[in-house]
Amino acid sequence: MFEVKEKPRLVERAYLVSVIQREDERLNALSMVEELEELVANLGIQVVRKEVVRTRKTFPGHLLGKGKFEETIRQVARHNCDVIIFDNEISPSQQRNWEEASKVLVIDRHEIILDVFAERAQTREASLQVRLARLEYSLPRLRRAWTHLGRQRGGGVTQRGEGEAQIELDQRMLRDKIASTKREIAQVAVRRKVSRKKRHRIPLPIIALVGYTNAGKSTLLNALSGSSVLSADKLFATLDPTSRKVSLPGGKPVVLTDTVGFIRKLPHRLVDAFRATLEETLVSDLLLHVVDLSNPEFEEQMNTTSELLTELGAEEKTILTVFNKIDLDETSTNAIRGKVLSPDAVFISSHTGEGIEELLKRMDLLLGGKIAVKRYLIPHKDYSLVSRMRMEGCLISEQTDQDGVWVEANPKGRLSSDLEAYCVSLVK
């Protein structure tokens, strides 16, 4: 049965390469290589050497010119490296050319991200999404993965021609696996939709945590909810969406959801594959854009998150910027830049709890403006409606007199319709 080949676990020493065409790209390229090094380290691979190479033009065969190509091959051999990893996206033909010349494994940033996702995926849905992305990535690289592709099959004595090449059979099986995986993902998406509908029967506001990977979203979720979701100082520590119930200062309960972190040069196939995982951003009432203020590249990370939110269709959502990790020394200078970039932002430390109270108040204020507050007179015989308002967290105040119960509330959905006949006025 056809399987996509995994990289051998013997890979231990890596040579990182980033190719640029303009000198003004060097600083950004160095930052990207540092991030790639952290991704590679998360897979247990030692980075022996890293290099940013400038070329005057594009070389379709090897990405580099002949001289630099041969020099890199010598350096790889000299440092006894097992793998060359490009920060740039390389084509299947470039991959083959490098592997034939260097005699070592050659991969790019996209494949590293796929491997990190594969190691961190915990739920069935996340595993399926990673599997789909990997299958789609592997399809044009089949010739690299197999040594028996020249064999012919299907030709018989009574048939003309050599028959069907093994690579054609493998490609067909791979496409069948892609189609089958997509069907499974669709089934999981249906189940998620059903679960979401059940959750919305009690229509609590939804707040989604979004931001660059390792910005501290899971730590913030724990700080706000008192839970113990996995949080670690590494890229993509959390892949599966996690939801917890949180009470705001006014007593209103909300659902807080942690989502997968974003990263620069995120493969488009992963954006598409994880669209179901990121659906929480599309159905939420409020987005908390969590930013690691201690990172010198925090502005670039903010731009990456904004671009991906636009790609997901969530740019019209109400977004509150939350600058995190203000307890670290590196944030003192960055805080000034942060206030200029986002004057309405909240500054917090998920680790020490500083600023958390202010964040909760801002969340309460932003959500309060989303739903109109109305005044109702509920007859004593229909007091069950007051109980429903209290259960759904939309009851703001109540006062009993001889005519009934006067309440102020901001109900949603079916409850709002059921209360319409009892509405007296809109509270300004």
pLDDT in tens, the chain (428 residues): 444 444 544 568 999 999 999 999 998 899 899 989 988 888 888 999 999 999 988 888 889 999 999 999 999 999 999 999 999 988 888 998 999 999 999 999 988 888 887 777 667 777 888 888 888 888 777 655 444 434 343 443 334 444 456 667 777 888 888 899 889 888 887 777 666 665 555 567 888 898 888 888 888 988 888 766 544 555 555 555 677 888 888 777 788 888 777 777 776 666 665 665 566 666 788 899 999 998 888 998 899 888 888 877 777 788 999 999 988 876 777 888 888 888 899 999 988 999 999 999 899 888 875 556 788 999 999 999 998 888 776 787 889 988 899 998 878 777 888 888 898 887 65
Cα–Cα distances in angstroms (integers) from residue 308 to residues 29, 235, 267, 320, 321, in the given order: 20, 17, 11, 16, 15
Q: What is the dihedral of CA 87, 92, 94, 99, to 10 degrees?
A: 90
* CA–CA dist 77, 88 (Å, integer): 21
Q: CB of 26 within 8 A of CB of 52? A: yes
* CA–CA dist 82, 158 (Å, integer): 48
* φ, ψ at 127 (rounded to 5°): -65, -40
Q: What pLDDT does residue 83 have? A: 92
Q: CB of 181 within 8 A of CB of 230? A: no
Q: What pLDDT does residue 170 have? A: 76
* CA–CA dist 238, 120 (Å, integer): 7
Query: In Å, how far from its chain's centre is CA 216?
Result: 13
Q: What pLDDT does residue 156 have? A: 39
Q: What pLDDT does residue 159 have? A: 41
Q: What pLDDT does residue 292 have? A: 92
* CA–CA dist 38, 234 (Å, integer): 8
* CA–CA dist 246, 250 (Å, integer): 12
Q: CB of 315 within 8 A of CB of 306? A: yes
Strands 46-54 and 13-20: parallel
